[in-house]
Amino acid sequence: MSDLHTVNKSPFEKNSLESCLRLSKAGSAILLYEDGVYGALKGTAVENMIASVVADKKVYVLGPDYKARGLDESRIIDGVEVVDYAGFVDLVEANDKVQAWV
Amino acid sequence: MPIEVDGKTLETDEEGYLVNLNDWVPGVAEVMAKEDDLELTDDHWDIINFLREYYEEYQIAPAVRVLTKAVGKRLGKEKGNSKYLYGLFPYGPGKQACRYAGLPKPTGCV
Amino acid sequence: MSDTKNFMFLNRRAPYGTIYAWESLEVVLIAAAFEQNVSLMFVDDGVYELTKGQDTTGIGMKNFSPTYRTLGDYEVRHMYVDKASLEARGLTADDLVQVEWEDWETEESVDNIVEVVDSDRVAELLEESDVVFSF
């Protein structure tokens, strides 16, 4: 089993995403929501943070938050999966605990 | 205080604005106008309809100045002034017309 | 017109995650009533405020992005976007809303007052302002 890590801050404003990726183990699930969703976008200065971990950590982005911000799903980094609220709940259930990087 | 429109009870805030924007039907304006002893004419409806379209597009109630300018542009220069609009809505075109149109009070309106 | 000041609203936060973007917009709408020269500057995550196609139905919050498009009616004459902030976020001017401006008396008009500017210009514009409101 593994942990679900959540990140809800913009990677440009806080280092929550960076610390989460640095301090979570391989096999972890990582969910980006609220302003955290900006980290899932292709072509940004921080794209490599997510792109370099998708091989050994499963990264998810919360669809409603992504959509609210006017971002198109075609711009999400390859390997990142979009989930809805029910998917969020499933992730919580499927993991040992939730660790929030606020 | 709630108002009765078309047999339905609609909730309003302490200043008489609809609490739920989606509750609006033309009858809302009619009922509110009646309470103010005002008879709605086509000229009133031009303003009410404009306000609803503006809100639909921009998601805010326009400031009186913006409303005045827009009315002048849309409905003719002779109508784009506060004298004309206050003539229609004596309690203030921002406050009263927005209330009839089911919109919130314009930002910055006291 | 010596009473007219140049007001600059400096926006550096993404919409929805915090209340800053919406509060700034509300103050801009009120400030326009005082007939000052109002300009907006979007820097850092503030550039996200202007993205097209925002749809908040899924998060139960008011979508205030359409409101930016009426700012020309509120006599906001300039909306500047920091190019470096935009590029760092993988965005271009095409991803942003367009805001029309028209002088109702002279009918002079500008199709889009949203302008992407470089860092030197941002610094210059901030320095030229009489008052900078930070959000």
Q: For A43, which of C14, C16, C90 is closest by C-beta distance?
A: C90
A6, A7, A12: best mutation site toward chain C, by most C Cβ within 10 Å? A12
The domain limits of chain C are 6-134
The DSSP code sequence of A28-41 is -EEEE-GGGGGGGB
A10, A16, A46, A50: best mutation site toward chain C, by most C Cβ within 10 Å? A10
Residue of chain C whose Cα is closest to the Cα of A85: C58
Residue C135 and residue C132: Cα distance in Å, rounded? Answer: 10
Size of interface B-C (CB pairs under 8 A): 38
Q: Specify whether the CB–CB gap between A71 and A46 falls below 8 A.
A: no
pLDDT in tens, A42-59: 999 999 999 999 999 999
A63: which chain C residues are within 8 Å (Cβ-Cβ)?
A: 58
Residue A14 and residue C131: Cα distance in Å, rounded? Answer: 27
Residue contact C90–A10, C-beta within 8 A: no
Q: Specify whether the CB–CB gap between C126 and C80 falls below 8 A.
A: no
ipTM: 0.87
Q: Which position has the higher pLDDT, B76 or A32?
A: A32
Q: Burial level of C111, CB count in 10 A (0-12/13-18/19+)?
A: exposed
Fold of A4-101: Hypothetical Protein Ychn; Chain: A, (3.40.1260)
In C15-132, which residue ranges form alpha helices assigned H by DSSP? 20-31, 65-68, 83-88, 119-128
The domain limits of chain A are 4-101
Residue C110 and residue C103: Cα distance in Å, rounded? Answer: 9
Residue A43 and residue B33: Cα distance in Å, rounded? Answer: 55
Residue contact C33–B58, C-beta within 8 A: no
Domains and CATH numbers, chain B: 3-100 (1.10.10.370)
Residue C130 and residue C3: Cα distance in Å, rounded? Answer: 11
In the residue annotation, B98 being an active-site residue is answered as: no
Residue contact A42–C53, C-beta within 8 A: no
**Does the C6-134 domain belong in CATH 3.40.1260.10?**
yes
Tens-level pLDDT at each residue, chain C (135 residues) = 457 889 999 999 999 999 999 999 999 998 877 788 999 999 999 999 999 999 999 999 999 999 999 999 998 999 999 999 999 999 999 999 999 998 877 888 999 999 999 999 999 999 999 999 999
